[in-house]
Structure 1
């Protein structure tokens, strides 16, 4: 669906950018332009499923590596408009006030994951997909999975705040979104996985549309500070 003057821009976005978008960027964009934005937040895999079912965003923010596949599967994106926006690392969080377990080296990480009461991760999220692969590479998948708290989607930090899990893993910006979570730190560099997120317009969206104006704003210096304050790096 393309945006019209009297219609809000339909935005689909992965969870990594939610804090920056909700805390600062979209409100500032609307204040400056008068353009309203309809916000739809889900993991990239879930956004693709929704688009395959027929939903059509004006603008998609998703993991860069997923954009070609989504475009091919749905026919809903204009890949030529894609622009890299941010990158984010994977890290761990605990309930505010809880002790921070050691994760600085791979050996420390393995020991912490084996000792933790329950690890919360998102099955559909980019971080959760990677962490499951990493646990298998480290040879501890079965042991950790047996006591894990996998979430279908959403913010894993909520599971440590409400007590379902003792340790949460997700993109750092997603951990920062949840009140009551202390960020312990990032995955060790040797096993870290950086994900880049891009913005891309819908296939029916005009180059001078409100959605195009939003994409330009998301790629501007006006948005850069908000990204950094939410735990993201500008791409």
Structure 2
């Protein structure tokens, strides 16, 4: 890709909160290299998809791959433009200084959930995964009164730091660098879920060439170090 030709064009995107820090850093790097600014709105994933469906003026969207697939099926994004950007794992956190529970196995995680007070998870893919686990373990009804689901766009780490929950689950990228919490570790392999985050151009896209360049940059090796710094792996 030729980064020598600089431009003052701006592209507009919308994304879920999980990729907020990564995209902010990469947008800065892209602007420095090309002169093209990427303005990215980060909101809850459900809200981001709704706004793309409504035809808001975004050039691109970054969401979990299954959400991108649904938007493509509805004709809201161009399926041929899709690029996979990063792979993300779910992690577990507690308040800073709190005892760290054993999370080395599926049984250990289940036992920790049964022993703890309030449990927090998000409205995103990690939250959906946790609800399925609770149902599979047969504990959904027993812990229902202790579940706190973070409102869209609110990090689970904030709920932990504020004392609203004692044990929280979310994408590692969203728990990293949150003050007032300690990350216990990832979900163990037997119950881990890997979410692939993808980007695609929107039906309402205006800046075709610049948007294509930005999405290619997001999927390129030049972006890999930033993804790792914020708890994800290149896709």
Q: Same fold (TM over 0.5)?
A: yes
Matched residue, 2:221: 221
Q: Any residues of structure 2 matched to 1:8-157 within 5 Å, and which?
A: 8-22=10-24, 24-73=25-74, 75-122=75-122, 124-153=123-152, 154-157=154-157
Q: Deviations over 1:129-181 (max 9, x none)?
A: 11111111111112222112112222100001111111110011111142232
Q: CA deviation at 1:6?
A: 6.0
Aligned 8 A contact 1:19 1:177 in 2:
no
Could you tell me how far apart the structure 1 residues matched to 2:102 and 2:143 are? Answer: 16
Could you tell me how far apart the structure 2 residues matched to 1:208 and 1:202 are? Answer: 10
User: What are the ranges of 5 or more consecutive residues in structure 2 without an aligned counterpart?
Assistant: 1-6
SS at match of 1:117: coil
Could you tell me how far apart the structure 2 residues matched to 1:11 and 1:101 are? Answer: 39
User: What are the ranges of 5 or more consecutive residues in structure 1 without an aligned counterpart?
Assistant: none
Could you tell me how far apart the structure 2 residues matched to 1:188 and 1:146 are? Answer: 25
Could you tell me how far apart the structure 2 residues matched to 1:8 and 1:208 are? Answer: 11
Could you tell me how far apart the structure 1 residues matched to 2:41 and 2:208 are? Answer: 22
- Greater Cα offset, 95-104 or 201-210: 201-210
Aligned 8 A contact 1:56 1:76 in 2:
no
Could you tell me how far apart the structure 1 residues matched to 2:72 and 2:166 are? Answer: 38
SS at match of 1:146: helix
How many residue pairs match? The answer is 228
The TM-score with structure 1 as length reference comes to: 0.90
4+ residue runs of structure 1 moved beyond 6 angstroms?
Answer: none
- Greater Cα offset, 198-207 or 57-66: 198-207
- Greater Cα offset, 221-230 or 48-57: 48-57
Could you tell me how far apart the structure 2 residues matched to 1:52 and 1:198 are? Answer: 17
Aligned 8 A contact 1:44 1:126 in 2:
no
The TM-score with structure 2 as length reference comes to: 0.90
Aligned 8 A contact 2:199 2:215 in 1:
yes
Could you tell me how far apart the structure 2 residues matched to 1:8 and 1:119 are? Answer: 41
SS at match of 2:173: helix
Q: What's the Cα RMSD here?
A: 1.8
Could you tell me how far apart the structure 2 residues matched to 1:6 and 1:179 are? Answer: 36
Could you tell me how far apart the structure 1 residues matched to 2:143 and 2:177 are? Answer: 25
Aligned 8 A contact 1:76 1:203 in 2:
yes
Q: Describe the shift of the 1:65–1:16 C-alpha distance in structure 2 as closer, same or farther (beyond 3 A).
A: same
- Greater Cα offset, 174-183 or 132-141: 174-183
